[in-house]
């Protein structure tokens, strides 16, 4: 069983996040604002090597780009 989203390099979590975003966006105005606040994510992360912290990067961008790398044929978003 091959999934279209898997073939386009998304992880299951990413797939869920995208689906959840679509649902949130299709809500009514007032509810939508409340719901969209639940979908926000502003984390930063850094890779460590040999006890040294690397550069601080935005997690959202890094995730998107790493998934784009793994994509077979374009992003399925």
Partner 1 sequence: MLSRAVRPAFNAAAVVSARPIAADAAGYATLREIEGRLKSIRNIEKITKTMKIVASTKLNRAQRAMVDSRSYGETSNTVFEKAETKPIESEDKKTLIIVCSSDKGLCGGIHSGLSRATRRMLEKKPNSDLVVLGEKSKAQLGRSSGKNIQLSFAGVGKDVPTFADAQAIADQISLLPTDYADVQILYNKFINATSYEATPIEAFSEEAIRESPNFAAFEIDDEVLANLREYALANSLYWALAEGHACEQSARRNAMDNASKNAGDMINRFQILYNRTRQAVITGELVEIITGASASEG
CB of 58 vs partner 1, minimal distance in Å = 9
Choose among 56, 25, 24: nearest CA to 43: 56
**Under the criterion CB under 8 A, does residue 61 sit at the interface with partner 1?**
no
Alpha-carbon distance values, 75 to 26, 44, 65 (Å): 21, 23, 10
CB of 25 vs partner 1, minimal distance in Å = 14
Instruction: List binders of partner 1 among 2-31 (CB under 8 A).
Output: 2, 11-14, 16-17, 20
Question: What is the distance between the alpha carbons of residues 66 and 77, in angstroms, rounded to a whole number?
Answer: 14
Please report, as ranges, the residues that interact with partner 1 according to CB under 8 A.
Answer: 1-2, 11-14, 16-17, 20, 38-48, 50-53, 56, 59-60, 62-63, 66
């Amino acid at each position: 069983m091959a999934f279209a989203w898997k073939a386009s390099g998304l992880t299951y979590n990413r797939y869920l996040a995208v689906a959840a975003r679509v649902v949130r966006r299709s809500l009514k105005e007032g509810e939508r604002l409340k719901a969209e606040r639940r979908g926000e994510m502003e984390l930063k992360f850094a890779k460590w090597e040999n006890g040294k912290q690397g550069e601080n990067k935005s997690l959202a961008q890094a995730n998107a780009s790493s998934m784009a790398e793994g994509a077979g044929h374009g992003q399925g978003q």
